[in-house]
């Protein structure tokens, strides 16, 4: 029976606190990673021959970097503001809950309700800002790939024959690329060997068979595969960046939920002030105060605002 017993409430609470601190500690590391990934992608974009320094996509990426800096700094300010509020909230409501002055309680509850609304709105704005940033980062690699493909389109003339060749070769590239699973150095040799024997390509067109002879330098194929590998590496960076930004979105969702819980406790206490039930008012004020004070969220928010880990080394 003892083996199946639930852990004590204090154990669950301690585990929840430890988990919260771990998550906020991860955000500190994620922030460093995000800065480095933004920088790495900027370097890769500039190093891509089809893009370079002056391409609009480079400027847009720099704008995303600046958006991230602004969003992160704004969220740090919000975290500091919210931590102070939660602390003051608890310290004020605990003595207020034992006061006999109902009008005073009503006035303080009203002030705290107004303040909670502001913090909830700030948490929502931070959550949405990180969410929008993550979505824009997620969409960016498709635009980069499109720009590279457009710049590298071979045989751009009007001949339907060459368009057909392009489609055929592209299918071959994609097929082999999937089989090799990104090992572009091996793929280059395989593809070179395959196409080197294709001095003549037969195409069926409008019911007739046409033979197109060509002899080309296949270095451009290897270069394209290198670019494909670079795209894959960039895509990995974009995915990591998206996931890390989503972590910040989740943290601010947590703050929003916390404020919502406090709001519910205060609104309930406020409702009892109208019914002249002092004990019910006091009970809900005490519950709200305990929820705000008995929580490592204040510590985590304060550390976040300083760019530090809430777990002491």
Q: Which pLDDT does position 141 carry in this prediction?
A: 74
Of the ranges 35-44, 201-210, 225-234, 269-278, the best mean pLDDT one: 35-44
In 3D space, the residue among 17, 13, 12, 10 whose CA is nearest the CA of residue 298 turns out to be 17
Comparing 141 with 42, which gets the higher pLDDT?
42
pLDDT for residue 66 is more than 90 = yes
Instruction: Specify the DSSP class assigned to residue 200.
Output: E
Cβ atoms of 218 and 198 within 8 Å: the answer is no
Would you give the distance in Å from CA 63 to the centre of its chain?
A: 16
Q: Give me the helix-helix angle, 219-273 and 102-152, nearest 10°.
A: 170
Q: Which pLDDT does position 62 carry in this prediction?
A: 93
Alpha-carbon distance of 108 to 196, in angstroms, equals: 82
252 CB burial (10 A radius; 0-12, 13-18, 19+) = buried
Comparing 39 with 222, which gets the higher pLDDT?
39
For residue 116, give both structure tokens.
Answer: 């909670």
In 3D space, the residue among 158, 169, 262, 272 whose CA is nearest the CA of residue 224 turns out to be 169
What average pLDDT does the structure give for the chain?
66
Q: Which pLDDT does position 159 carry in this prediction?
A: 45
pTM of the model: 0.61
Cβ atoms of 33 and 240 within 8 Å: the answer is yes
Q: Which residues contact 103 (CB under 8 A, 6 or more apart)?
A: none
pLDDT for residue 199 is more than 90 = no
Q: Which pLDDT does position 277 carry in this prediction?
A: 61
Cβ atoms of 116 and 263 within 8 Å: the answer is yes
Mean pLDDT of 31-49: 82
Mean pLDDT of 183-204: 34
Q: Which pLDDT does position 59 carry in this prediction?
A: 93
Question: pLDDT band at 63, cuts 50/70/90?
Answer: very high
Alpha-carbon distance of 110 to 115, in angstroms, equals: 9
Alpha helices, DSSP H, located in 274-296 = 278-293
Q: Which residues contact 25 (CB under 8 A, 6 or more apart)?
A: 309, 310, 311
Cβ atoms within 10 Å of 183's Cβ, excluding its own: 12
- Residue 52 zone, left/alpha/beta (φ > 0; ψ -120 to 50; rest): left
Based on its alpha-carbon atoms, the radius of gyration of the chain, rounded to whole angstroms, reads 30
Comparing 145 with 203, which gets the higher pLDDT?
145
């Amino acid at each position: 029976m003892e083996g199946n017993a639930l852990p004590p409430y204090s154990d669950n609470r301690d585990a929840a606190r430890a988990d919260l601190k771990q998550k906020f500690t991860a955000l500190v590391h994620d922030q460093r990673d995000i800065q480095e990934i933004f920088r790495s992608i900027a370097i890769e974009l500039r190093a891509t021959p089809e893009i370079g320094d002056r391409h609009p996509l480079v400027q847009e990426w720099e704008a995303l970097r600046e958006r991230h800096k602004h969003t992160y700094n704004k969220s740090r300010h919000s975290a500091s503001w919210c931590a102070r509020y939660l602390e003051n909230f608890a310290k004020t409501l605990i003595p207020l809950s034992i006061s006999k002055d109902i009008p005073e309680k009503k006035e303080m509850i009203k002030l705290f309700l107004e303040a909670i609304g502001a913090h909830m709105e700030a948490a929502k704005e931070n959550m949405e800002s990180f969410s929008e940033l993550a979505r824009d980062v997620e969409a960016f690699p498709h635009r980069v790939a499109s720009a590279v493909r457009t710049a590298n389109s071979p045989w751009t003339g009007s001949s339907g024959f060459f368009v057909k060749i392009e489609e055929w070769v592209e299918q071959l590239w994609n097929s082999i690329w999937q089989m090799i699973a990104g090992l572009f150095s091996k793929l280059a040799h395989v593809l070179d060997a395959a196409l080197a024997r294709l001095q003549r390509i037969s195409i069926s067109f409008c019911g007739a068979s046409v033979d197109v002879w060509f002899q080309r330098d296949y270095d451009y194929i290897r270069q394209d595969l290198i670019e494909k590998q670079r795209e894959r590496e960039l895509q990995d960076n974009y995915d990591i960046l998206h996931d890390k930004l989503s972590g910040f979105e989740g943290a601010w969702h947590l703050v929003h939920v916390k404020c919502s819980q406090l709001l519910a406790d205060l609104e309930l206490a406020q409702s009892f002030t109208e019914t002249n039930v002092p004990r019910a008012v006091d009970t809900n004020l005490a519950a709200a105060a305990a929820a705000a004070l008995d929580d490592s969220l204040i510590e985590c928010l304060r550390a976040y605002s300083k760019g530090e880990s809430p777990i002491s080394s």
